[in-house]
């Protein structure tokens, strides 16, 4: 960056050699040549860097715009309420019917169940890794948890439906049998024995979002100022009391933000749910033992039939809702920690 210079002509006056006087020492050739001050290399490289930034901004704006443009005609042609109906029938371009109500229910139910399961566990893991695990083992242990994040979601889906679901069926049946009077544990719109329920999906999703919630919380817990911890210990607090009075209050915002990030991930998860959830057209019973599809898995299911713009537009409209949902959740996650200087 160049400074705006205002050389003061003739300021000062007599005390030193004036520029370019004949008796002055040999002038410095490498400085005085009037070269262009911005070097071409600098200009080019800077241009490339700025260009990349502009490119990203333009690309994403363009994509958002085109998505909207393609969703609008389908929404116009829609014969049912987009947000108020659960029917999804996009095969006929003349009688387009698509509503995301049921999709929304399954999306929210799986994600919230996953969050409810994952939040306490990842809090425990994060505390364990930061304050309980032996120092030498903390890093390898953290690596193990991070490995969970490296497993592709299609493998979680495969494992979830083929391996975990049969194991969970007895648990699900027990819950249904004993707690069936609570609507959430009542019979759903698919068989419990099949395993392709919100319940199974929620458990798998919980496993999938564990590493992200753990990683972010751990990072925040590690930043608890030493003085706070030592202050609490010096007052005779037990380890748990120390955690409760210093680490947890300090890390609370970070933990909430981590949970929001996990929720965002769960809302958008596609393939695992696409493999796990049993398809059904039946009306959901608002139970954990419902089947169906989430917004994301519905799009994946329908991807093969994107053969005319109106059909694709219906799915794109659903995709926009999902995008908005994750955007809001992620923005909230950022907002929670935005004001926190001590996390920086």
Partner 1 sequence: MTTAMMDLERPATGPTFQGVSAGRKAKNVLATTLVTLAFLLAVVPLVWVLWSVVEKGLEPILRADWWSHSLSGLRPYEDMGGAYHAIYGTVVQGLTTALLSVPIGVMVGVYLVEYGTGTRLARITTFMVDILTGVPSIVAGLFIYALWITIFGFSRSALAVSLALLLLMVPVVVRTTEEMLRIVPNELREASYALGIPKWKTIVKVVLPTALSGIVTGIMLGLARVMGETAPALVVGAYAPYINFNVFDGNMANLPLLMNDQFANPETAGFNRTWGAAMTLVLIIMLFNLLATVISRWSAIKK
Partner 2 sequence: MAKRIDIKDVNIYYGKFHAVDSVTLSVPPRSVTAFIGPSGCGKSTVLRSLNRMHEVTPGARVEGRVLLDGEDIYAPSVDPVEVRRTIGMVFQRPNPFPTMSIRDNVVAGLKLAGVRNRKKLDEVCERSLRGANLWEEVKDRLDRPGGGLSGGQQQRLCIARAIAVQPDVLLMDEPCSALDPISTLAIEDLITELKQDFTIVIVTHNMQQAARVSDQTAFFNLAGVGQPGRLVEVDDTEKIFSNPSQKATEDYISGRFG
Q: Look up residue 135 and give its two tokens.
A: 């120092």
Helix axes 295-302, 309-338, angle to 10 degrees: 150
Name which of partner 1, partner 2, none residue 45 binds, using a CB cut-off of 5 to 8 Å depending on partner kind.
partner 1
Instruction: Give least dist CB 211 to partner 1, A.
Output: 8
Closest contact distance (angstroms) between CB of 72 and partner 1 is: 12
Q: C-alpha angle with apex 15: 13 to 18, nearest 5 degrees?
A: 65
Q: How far is the CB of 212 from partner 1 (least distance, A)?
A: 11
Residues 1-40 that bind partner 2 (CB under 8 A): 1-8, 11-12, 15-21, 24-28, 30-37, 39
Q: Which of 72, 199, 216 is nearest to 130 (CA)?
A: 216
Minimum CB separation from partner 2 for residue 47, in Å?
18
Determine, following the binding rule CB under 8 A, whether residue 49 of this chain makes contact with partner 1: yes
Interface residues for partner 2 in 37-66 (CB under 8 A)? 37, 39
User: Binding residue for partner 1 (CB under 8 A) from 27, 52, 92, 178?
Assistant: 52
What one-character-per-residue DSSP string does 269-327 give? --HHHHHHSPP--SPP-SSTT-----HHHHHHHHGGGTTSHHHHHHHHHHHHHHHHHHH
- Using CB under 8 A as the binding rule, the residues of this chain from 258 to 277 that contact partner 2 are none
The pair phi, psi for residue 196, each rounded to 5°, is: -85, 55
Is residue 136 part of the contact set for partner 2 (CB under 8 A)? Answer: no
**Cα 199 versus chain centre, distance:** 22
Contact 307, 316 (CB under 8 A): no
Do residues 110 and 296 touch, judged by C-beta distance below 8 A?
A: no
The answer to whether 304 contacts partner 2 (rule: CB under 8 A) is: no
Q: With respect to partner 2, which residue has the nearer C-beta, 3 or 94?
A: 3
**Residue 290: closest CA among 199, 189, 206:** 189
Taking alpha carbons only, the member of 279, 116, 84 closest to residue 210 is: 116
Report the site for partner 1 in 75-134 (rule: CB under 8 A): 120-125, 127-129, 132-133
Footprint on residues 158-217 left by partner 1 (CB under 8 A): 158-159, 162-164, 207, 210, 214
Beta carbon nearer to partner 2, 33 or 307: 33
From 195, 262, 264, 284, residue interacting with partner 1 (rule: CB under 8 A)? 264
Would you tell me how many other CB atoms lie within 10 Å of the CB of residue 124?
A: 12
Choose the contact partner of 339 out of partner 2, partner 1, none; CB within 5 to 8 A by kind: none
Q: How far is the CB of 51 from partner 2 (least distance, A)?
A: 21
What's the CA gap between 323 and 267, in Å, rounded?
A: 9
Q: At its nearest, how many Å lie between partner 1 and the CB of residue 213? A: 11
- How many helices and strands (H and E) does the chain possess? 13, 2
CB of 24 to partner 1, least distance (A): 23
| Local structure of 143: helix, strand or coil | helix
Q: What character string, x for contact with partner 1 (CB under 8 A) and - otherwise, covers 145-164?
A: x-xx-xxxxxxx-xx--xxx
Q: How far is the CB of 342 from partner 1 (least distance, A)?
A: 18
Both structure tokens of 32: 């005085």
**Whole-angstrom distance, CA of residue 328 vs CA of residue 319:** 14
**Which range binds partner 1 by CB under 8 A, 75-83, 192-200, 250-258, 327-335?**
327-335
C-alpha–C-alpha distance, residues 97 and 81, integer Å: 8
- Out of partner 1, partner 2, none, what residue 31 binds, judged by CB under 5 to 8 A for its kind, is partner 2
**Least distance to partner 1 from the beta carbon of 97, Å?**
20
Among 70, 74, 78, 224, binds partner 1 (CB under 8 A): 70
The site for partner 2 (CB under 8 A) is made up of: 1-8, 11-12, 15-21, 24-28, 30-37, 39
């Amino acid at each position: 960056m160049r400074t705006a210079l205002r050389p003061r002509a003739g300021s000062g006056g007599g005390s030193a050699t004036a520029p370019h006087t004949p008796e002055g020492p040999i002038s410095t050739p490498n400085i005085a040549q009037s070269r262009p001050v911005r070097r071409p290399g600098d200009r080019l490289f800077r241009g490339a860097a700025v260009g990349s930034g502009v490119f990203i901004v333009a690309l994403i704006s363009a994509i958002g715009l085109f998505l909207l443009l393609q969703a609008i005609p389908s929404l116009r042609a829609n014969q049912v309420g987009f947000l108020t109906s659960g029917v999804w029938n996009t095969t006929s371009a003349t009688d387009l019917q698509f509503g995301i109500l049921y999709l929304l229910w399954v999306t929210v139910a799986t994600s919230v169940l996953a969050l409810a399961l994952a939040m306490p566990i990842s809090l425990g893991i994060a505390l364990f890794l930061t304050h309980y695990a032996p120092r030498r083992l903390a890093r390898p242990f953290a690596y193990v948890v991070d490995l969970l994040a490296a497993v592709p979601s299609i493998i979680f889906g495969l494992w979830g439906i083929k391996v975990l679901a049969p194991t969970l069926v007895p648990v699900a049946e027990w819950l249904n049998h004993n707690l069936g009077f609570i609507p959430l544990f009542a019979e759903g719109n698919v068989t419990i024995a099949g395993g392709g329920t919100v319940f199974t999906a929620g458990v798998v999703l919980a496993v999938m979002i564990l590493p992200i919630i753990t990683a972010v919380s751990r990072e925040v817990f590690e930043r608890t100022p030493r003085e706070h911890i030592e202050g609490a210990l010096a007052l005779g607090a037990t380890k748990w009391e120390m955690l409760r009075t210093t680490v947890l209050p300090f890390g609370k915002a970070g933990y909430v933000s981590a949970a929001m990030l996990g929720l965002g991930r769960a809302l958008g998860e596609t393939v695992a749910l696409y493999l796990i959830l049993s398809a059904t057209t039946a009306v959901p019973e608002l139970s954990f033992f419902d089947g169906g599809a989430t917004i994301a898995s519905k799009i994946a299911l329908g991807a093969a039939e994107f053969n005319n713009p109106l059909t694709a537009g219906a799915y794109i409209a659903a995709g926009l809702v999902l995008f908005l949902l994750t955007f809001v959740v992620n923005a909230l996650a950022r907002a929670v920690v935005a004001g926190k200087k001590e996390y920086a």
